[in-house]
Amino acid sequence: MEVSGAPADVLLQHPWLPVSISGCQFLAKIWFGDLEYHILLTDMMCVWEERMDSAAIQERAQKLNRRVRAEVKAFFSHLVEVVQPCLSGDGEPAEIEAQVTLMRREDGNISMTLNSKLAGLPFKWEFHCTAAPVTLVCAQLVCPLLAMSRLLQRQVEQLGGLLLRKDAEIQDYRENGATLSRERLQTDVFEEQTYREDFMAKALPLLCSEQTDARGFDATLQHLYAAVIAQANKRTRKRQLSEERPVEEEEEQPDASPSSGPGSVTNREQSQTKMADRAAVQQSVPATSSAAERPSSKPKKKKVGLFR
């Protein structure tokens, strides 16, 4: 496996796309650069990755397709064309027919084989994915999921507060003699502790009997993931700017842009890609993705990175 200069922050902007390969459910992120790629796969039990640069792609393409003579550019553009629909999450077959099979190896690694046709000849590609570095798993999953949990927890608390206010309003109407025209409209008084206990008792067993694999990361959570990443990215850029021009620290201002409506997905994703591009350009600190690359021996006060 060749380690190329895959921009970790750009990959972070990508959504985790649900893919089904050989009957297994995975979440995938794939980034194609200029004759290089970085793929991430997870079944939530492990996370695998492969980073390949131009030379490695050329070598593997030749090795797997001895009868096909082509430049690395031709191999690569064919690969992009074939792989992207397979890993686009919508599960729709590519226009160019391609078969993807997955094999879990004895050593825990996985191989994903892709069979298609290039200029009429059979074309084969293999992704050799090995366990991703823990720091990458933390950046791509642990930190965002923790931020999402915190955000949702806060929302739960806020909605609980709103319910108490609704009850106070209802109580006032009732105390002033108001009655309901339709009895079925009457609600129970919201009691936070009782509600939570009841919710946990009912929802928890259901949740655990449902999709606990990659499919559990559903569209709503994907949306939240994107919003959390976009915000962390915005914050990183602000820090970088303020470190470049040290003025008095700006206060974070609430920003009205991250709408959560399903209709705004495409717009958000587009703007995220732009942000990601900008972030990649402005990123002055090397994106470390392996524990072995950590340089510091002392805790730093001012870390520049997402989720810091």
Looking only at residues 52 through 71 of this chain, which bind a copy of itself when binding is defined by CB under 8 A? Answer: none
DSSP string, 74-138: HHHHHHHHHHHHHTSSS-PPPSS--EEEEEE-TTS-EEEEEEEEETTEEEEEEEEEEEPPHHHHI
Does 248 participate in binding a copy of itself (rule CB under 8 A)?
A: no
Task: Report the residue number, 23 or 120, with the smaller CB distance to a copy of itself.
Answer: 23
Does 255 participate in binding a copy of itself (rule CB under 8 A)?
A: yes
Min dist CB 41 to a copy of itself, Å, is: 12
Does 152 participate in binding a copy of itself (rule CB under 8 A)?
A: yes
Nearest to 165 by CA among 128, 192, 198, 134: 192
Does 215 participate in binding a copy of itself (rule CB under 8 A)?
A: no
Min dist CB 25 to a copy of itself, Å, is: 9
Which parts of 89-108 interact with a copy of itself (CB under 8 A)?
Answer: 103-108
Min dist CB 276 to a copy of itself, Å, is: 17
Which parts of 272-291 interact with a copy of itself (CB under 8 A)?
Answer: 290-291
Q: Which of 57, 224, 275, 276 is the binder for a copy of itself (CB under 8 A)?
A: 224
DSSP string, 223-254: HHHHHHHHHHHHHHHHHHHHHHS--SPPPPPP
Q: Which stretch binds a copy of itself (CB under 8 A): 1-9, 39-47, 240-248, 275-283?
A: 39-47
Nearest to 130 by CA among 151, 116, 109: 109
Output the CA angle 58-61-65, nearest 5 degrees: 140
Residue whose pair of structure tokens reads 């949740």 in the numeric block: 207
Min dist CB 40 to a copy of itself, Å, is: 11
Q: Which stretch binds a copy of itself (CB under 8 A): 84-92, 93-101, 199-207, 276-284?
A: 199-207
The dihedral region occupied by 53, where left means phi > 0, alpha psi between -120 and 50, and beta the remainder, is: beta
CB 26 within 8 A of CB 20: yes
Does 241 participate in binding a copy of itself (rule CB under 8 A)?
A: no
Residue whose pair of structure tokens reads 């792609």 in the numeric block: 57
Does 154 participate in binding a copy of itself (rule CB under 8 A)?
A: yes
Does 308 participate in binding a copy of itself (rule CB under 8 A)?
A: yes
Q: Which of 1, 3, 22, 122 is the binder for a copy of itself (CB under 8 A)?
A: 22
Q: Which of 167, 237, 265, 304 is the binder for a copy of itself (CB under 8 A)?
A: 167
Q: Which of 232, 275, 276, 279 is the binder for a copy of itself (CB under 8 A)?
A: 232
Does 253 participate in binding a copy of itself (rule CB under 8 A)?
A: yes
CB 114 within 8 A of CB 100: yes
Q: How many CA atoms lie within 13 A of 14 on its CB side?
A: 23
